[in-house]
Structure 1
């Protein structure tokens, strides 16, 4: 109960720290917004499926929302926690009465707050600048909610686990960012999923980002666009199963790897 009572204060502390880091704001929070603007300006045509056409901004929006979830959870936490280990902040926290539960809930809270703000920014730019029409069916927004929450929780847990990989805080960005960038390319974020070779799509489907992007496409794209997916359907049952599997795997890995200090310190 004490750990839970302290959580709001810890979340506020984490959010303030996040906002004050200019590089984190650029490469995590604003990155999907910048790419939405770039892609919508460069690929100014329309996407077509089943006789329905939509602006390219509409097509790229769901993938970039999913990428934002990945960046907020995996990239942000993996780098941030690794740096806190490297400069001794975690070791000092470990010597205080603070529970690891409070610390990790603070991280989860910060990721949730910033990811919601990021989605809001993406939707505002998409609608106000590029005229993207948002869905009006409540069922679609319900799908958005569970894909977003499952994906964000899984990515946050995986980010905690991945923070154990860099050998030092200074190497964290060099280790994490290339992995996350490659994952975005093979998961249908920067290149339309149906244009990827089958082998690349198969590899991408091994990771949660491809499933988050697929779930988000089912929310924001017309029904006729499901023919571009593997199997010719959105496959939301498969999306849910894949994200739950990654959530459980992330929980196990983060539990096994998280330490206040590195084992080799």
Structure 2
């Protein structure tokens, strides 16, 4: 006597909610698309460092203290460091505006995890900084005779300095976004310290020519170490004589930039606010 087996139909598997990383990637694509739609912002963002390079590279056309290196080569390395830190300014201002106009408050009420929002901002910053660096390298090579390194190890140094620098300065920008009282004051509050840091961190002036007290201040922040790391890539051994320690101290550069990644994350967790001060 045969028995029939009744199969109970199973429910089709439903896809679970997307992960925070996947949502972060989607947010990054959205942020990048919105950035490139603002043509005036795109033109200013990418043209500004090029204009500075052309101006400084044309005015100071001589060699650096008998090193055989031109001022333009020095400025390329410094402006690459500045481009890698634009996340501090962009995020510091952008997040403040998002908080002031209620964007953050609305996002907080959606299923979007907070981490996905920051992932989107960080990847958008990496993308913009990468394109800025590529454009600066093209201009440096074509107009000012910049020699690109040939050793793979040197490009690996570039990669970790760029990655740690962008992430650390971006996290610092997220933390600094809590300082302005409103979106209207964000540009003044965030842009001023960024400009000051450029002048005391080796972007425009060799750090060995700066007063010791200014060097001590700049050494607290990541931009000085980012520029130092990029000089090791693009100026080589000849440029080491321009450093205070007569060495690029890459181990110290790595340690301080990594510390800023960790410290910046702690600052974000302690200071970040989803609501504006007027919202209570």
Q: Which range, TM-score by smaller chain?
A: over 0.9
The C-alpha deviation readout for 1:134-153, integer Å capped at 9, x for no partner, is 11111111111111001111
Deviation at 1:98, TM superposition (A): 0.9
CA distance, structure 2, for counterparts of residue 163 and residue 27 of structure 1: 21
1:57-76 matches, cutoff 5 A: 57-71=72-86, 73-76=87-90
User: Does residue 9 in structure 1 map to residue 26 in structure 2?
Assistant: yes
The C-alpha deviation readout for 1:47-99, integer Å capped at 9, x for no partner, is 245xx41222111111110111111x100000000000001111111111111
Say which of 32, 35, 42 aligns to 1:25.
42
Higher-Rg member (1/2): 2
- Coordinate RMSD, CA, aligned: 1.6
Closer, same or farther: CA 184–169 of 1 in aligned 2, 3 Å? same
The answer to whether the 8 A contact 2:206-2:242 is kept is no
1:204-243 matches, cutoff 5 A: 204-243=218-257
The answer to whether the 8 A contact 1:28-1:76 is kept is no
SS of alignment partner, residue 53 of structure 1: coil
Say which of 142, 161, 174 aligns to 2:175.
161
1:75-154 matches, cutoff 5 A: 75-154=89-168
The C-alpha deviation readout for 1:193-214, integer Å capped at 9, x for no partner, is 2211222112111111101011
SS of alignment partner, residue 64 of structure 2: strand
* Unaligned runs of at least 5 residues, structure 2: 1-17
Say which of 30, 55, 65 aligns to 2:70.
55
Aligned length: 262
CA distance, structure 2, for counterparts of residue 159 and residue 24 of structure 1: 18
Structure 1 counterpart of 2:5: none
Structure 1 counterpart of 2:63: 46
4+ residue stretches of structure 1 with deviation over 6 A? Answer: none
CA distance, structure 2, for counterparts of residue 189 and residue 26 of structure 1: 22
Structure 1 counterpart of 2:4: none
SS of alignment partner, residue 54 of structure 1: coil
Question: Could you tell me the TM-score, scaled by structure 2's length?
Answer: 0.89
CA distance, structure 2, for counterparts of residue 207 and residue 168 of structure 1: 25
The C-alpha deviation readout for 1:85-124, integer Å capped at 9, x for no partner, is 0011111111111111111111011011111111100001
The answer to whether the 8 A contact 2:20-2:116 is kept is yes
Deviation at 1:19, TM superposition (A): 2.2
CA distance, structure 2, for counterparts of residue 198 and residue 55 of structure 1: 25
CA distance, structure 1, for counterparts of residue 48 and residue 80 of structure 2: 11
Deviation at 1:264, TM superposition (A): 5.0
CA distance, structure 2, for counterparts of residue 48 and residue 139 of structure 1: 27
Structure 1 counterpart of 2:200: 186
